[in-house]
Structure 1
Amino acid sequence: MDKDTGIEQLTSHWSNGLHIFLQLKYCSFINDECLKAVFMSNMNFFKRYNNLRGMTGTIGDKEERELLTLEYDVDCFELPRFKKYRFKYEKMKEIVCSSEREWYEKLIEDVNEKMELKTNKMNNNNKEEINNNKIQLEERYKMLKLKIEKTTTQLNDEFQKKSSIDKRMKTFKEMKNTLLNRKIQNQEDYDDNDDYSHQNEICEININQVKNEFDDINETIIDLEESLNLYKIQESDLIKNIQNYELLLNTENSVDQRRAVLIICENIVKLEKISLQVRKEFQHKGNKIYTYDRAYRKFEKSQLNCGDIIIATNIAGRGTDLDIDKFLERNGGLHVILTYTPNNLRVEKQAFGRTARAGKRGTGIYIVYDERKSNNCIPNLTIDYLSDVRNENEKERVNQIVTKSFHKIKIEDELFGKFDVFKNELNKIIERKYLNLKENELKENYFELQIKSLQNKWAFWLNNMEEKLE
């Protein structure tokens, strides 16, 4: 378990016998020592393809893109958004705190601001926006109703065709049975006559033809039924959304006007501390508070509502789609508080990308604690300064990958290629030399075990060369 994020690392093992030692200590199943013997790096795997195409939500900064271009000879470009990006970063409120106490106070203060029950009415711009959205959904609903009617008609026509085919099939089968009964009853008359064979062949041809038509009709019916079910699901969603917009326009004063807040923490320890402070402040106020600290736990809510507070490690920033209802969208959407500066721009974008999705509104802010500000090492510490340092460190990390890691990976791939050729040659020699030996002259699987022993020696040698390769 990654102690920072709560992600289960099921395929990871401690090296140099530590993993096996712990398994012995806790009387659990013992795995073999993990050594690289047969492997292929991700880099070499992708390079085996003649054409590479990929898509990602967060490709990173300039350095990461240049790295991909350098190694894989690919270009990077940004695909334009289908809908307007409506995220707003609250630059004026960002802060680097000098103590944990100040940090908790600022976090609570920001959440409190988003949870205030406001009584002001919607302005004309908001009303116009909601009404325009409602009109667009109503137009989509009309078009969808036409699709449903057309598909239903097509489906009924196909069922009629199927019924007609059923009758034809029944007729041909009855003809075949009649021929068979006549042959049984008049065996002598049919012995030297080709009439039965000819008529039976015609029946078989007709039956097979009808079967093919029947299969085609069934495929068409299945496709139409799937389309109709999809249209009806879409219809149900559209009706619900139109009703929500009508409710927003007609009951503007009685609607809950709170926001929902997502607080993203650096690790589980900090999550538990922040969660304690947040629950102390908001539990009794009727807010629903959720923690998301283990990747294997399914997130409890499919849709966020007004007043919800989620406290999570950065696993909430990795592809988790936090849907919001129409009332929350009207109030400004989900507000994201990032409580630490991530190691790179890509993770930052993932975190703030939990809000303002698919053209919806949303806000975000940095509220971080850095002890260097408290002991006067850097008294005027700012988010911009932390971001600049982070970006420089990321550049250095990418440079290390290019100058060291890639070279190491390439050498390992080359060494494995040579060992693989040697092993295959050795197998051929063994087959030629000992092909004529009687089975009882050698123990079962003798050569197979010898090759595995050789492979183990190679793996241990490669493990011992680790430092030199680095």
Structure 2
Amino acid sequence: MLMLSNQRSLLSQVATGEGKTLIITTLCIIKCLYGEKLDIVTSCSVLAKRDAESEPPKGNKDLYEFFGVTVGHICSEDIDQRAQTFSRCDVVYGDLSSFQRDYLLDRFYGKNILGKRNFENVIVDEVDSMLLDNGNNMLYLSHDIPNMERLQSLFIFIWRSVNQPVNSLDDLNKIYDNAAIKQSIIEDIHGMIMRDEVDAGVWQALLKSKTIDEDGRILIHLKDYTTHVKQLKFPKQKTENRLIFLLNIISNRQRFIKLRSEFYNFIEQHLDKFIDNAKNALFMNPDLNPKIIIIDKNTGTDQSSSQWHEELHQFLQIKHGCKLSLVSLKAVFISNVSYLKLYQNLYGLSGTLGSRDEKQLLNELYNIDLIKIPTSKPKNFFEERPIISGYKEQWTNSIYDETKKKIIKDRSVLIICETVKHVDYISKCLVKRAMEDLQNDPSNIIYDSLKKPYVYKREHEEFTFGQGNELLNCGTVIIATNLAGRGTDIKLEQKLVEAGGLHVIVTFLPNNCRIEEQAYGSAA
């Protein structure tokens, strides 16, 4: 009611479990009955699809249908399908990058996706994530450039240069010296004469005739340099013969990098970044997949349509034996702030709106009011003292010991990890420790829960307990990324509530306390 009656845009702090999804649905229905349209921005595409397509208890599609409100989502790669959603639906769900993508495609590429839809109302779910954590984010749209597949020989050459066996410190310095790698690339592409290979007089003559540049790079490319050298008129025949021999050897060298001349300037501008990203790729660890997919660190969702820039993506593909994707260049972009300012009315809901400074920043950026809605019931929540681990084994042992204590008391435990890699590592360690303890105490049934944790790490996996369609039982161990921390509604069976409820362990130190509060909200 506050959102409907307020003259300015409004951000509301509504605690986790207080029905944000239902509040959004209600606001949408009332606005639509007045003939207005709304865009709903969720923190990830998983939640957008869930809220737009699902019947209760996952979503509220039946409620929209009851009031004759059409609803859809734009988390699809099919442009025609997205265009139909914008034109036919009163309420459109999507993550922020999907809305930004379609805006840029519509305005700058003439794809006519938005149709007659204007920027009337937007409701931002998990507004702290969108406006604070990712407030400075930019969405870039890139496009493929013709003949960019010809750069593959360059990428393979750079990869071979950084991925060599190292036998000494000198080898290490040589392999990871950008200048040395860059010189070897230029030498392969253009051919080079080193200063110590010719006399000072010859060097000056080559510079003056623009045969080479200051670095020794050959600027005039010929199959046979005999005529060209004779035109320089050196006083000694020996000098002339030696230079002809040297230039012809360079001209007929074995070349590994095969490029057209129109790419030379482009490569010169990006070469340092290419080399740096080849080194980065060498030390990045995969989550063993047949293709390279970026996983959003904040939400844990797949970003399958995105690529790392400056060819880091291609070097990772070479490293792991994947098919090389085409190189693309950034064309147009828009920031989160710029996009959301396009709307006449901005409404936001979140379990946490941050500190006083963060609230002030939101007010200055978006000219909005902020309110805090009290909980319908007092929180039954206790935060234990944090445990700081000095090394990895102590870290996993602490997680296991804390989990075991709670399982003994008939409680369930949600372990939230920073990355997919950490999910795999912690689940492996917990299972190993549980199997060892089971051998010493085979009659104890608590180890059944510890040795068979429920693992949730990718958005395409179904999180049964997070969709509200199955009650969480006593003695369940869940190990997940932050996918289980935002936008999930874990319902507990009565016996688990009486035992003390769900215990949440955040296994890393987040960038801000709001991420912790979101995770703990699942337990309160």
TM-score range, shorter chain: 0.3 to 0.5
> Larger RCO: Structure 1 or Structure 2 (Cα < 8 Å, ≥ 6 residues apart)?
1
* TM-score in terms of structure 2 length: 0.37
* TM-score in terms of structure 1 length: 0.41
Q: Which has the higher helix share?
A: 1
